[in-house]
Amino acid sequence: MRKKLFVITIAFTVVFLFVACDSASQLSDNINQTIARTTQGEIEVGAGKPNSTQWFDFTIEHVKKTASYAGYSPADGYMLIDVLITQKGTFDDTEPVPMGTFDFYMDSSIFEESIYPIPPIDDTMMPGEFDLVYGETAVYHMVYEIPSDIPDLKLMFTEWDEGGREGATFVMVINPGGL
């Protein structure tokens, strides 16, 4: 009898998890982000998937290769990668959070240093520096000039607290050949 009751309980639990899949998935993502943040680990970021830092929420709307952007073309042997990002200020403080193109960088096994977006050339691009106010939403393009023959690529954001301590690093793995 106990064995049957145990099997029935497991069956109901499995059905409940399938029914509550979206909520369970979101709960799992939040737990993973909290664990990574407390262990200063990496949090995997996916296109269209919301993410929460200690300062703001963000979603990478798309990552795509482009031949040119607002009249700017890459140098020979390079390509442009356009990243569209939505950010919302969530740090409830009287001071806005300073943001800018220095926050999101590209990394690769072949880079000696990280690559940052090209300087803004129109109003749709993320400014070099701006203040993200609590409750405010900002949508910007970041355009990176990357070597065309790059084997691997990561878009990254690393949290830093007010004391200058490193927190979690949000990482989006990009397949350059698939863009």
Fold designation for 43-178 = Immunoglobulin-like (2.60.40)
- 88-131, pLDDT tens digit by residue? 999 887 789 899 999 999 999 988 899 999 999 999 999 999 99
Q: How many CB atoms lie within 10 A of CB 99?
A: 20
- For 72-84, give one letter per residue: b (16+ CB within 10 A) or e: eebeeeebbbbbb
pLDDT at 5: 38
Residues 6+ apart with CB under 8 A from 110: 147, 150, 151, 152
Residue of higher predicted confidence among 138 and 40? 138
pLDDT at 177: 83
How many angstroms separate the CA atoms of 24 and 41, rounded?
22
Domain ranges of the chain: 1-39, 43-178
pLDDT at 1: 44
Please state the rounded mean pLDDT for residues 131-154: 95
Please say if the pLDDT value at position 154 is more than 90.
Answer: yes
Residue of higher predicted confidence among 22 and 151? 151
pLDDT at 92: 83
Residues 77, 116, 142, 88, Cα dihedral to 10°? 160
Burial of 45 (0-12, 13-18, 19+ CB in 10 A): buried
Average pLDDT across the chain, whole number: 82
Q: How many CB atoms lie within 10 A of CB 101?
A: 21
pTM: predicted TM-score of the whole model, two decimal places: 0.75
Strands (E), 17-161: 42-44, 51-52, 56-66, 78-89, 97-99, 104-107, 130-132, 137-147, 153-160
> Which two tokens mark 94?
């009287």
- 59-76, pLDDT tens digit by residue? 999 999 999 999 999 999
Name the phi and psi angles at 93, rounded to 5: -145, 165
pLDDT at 26: 53
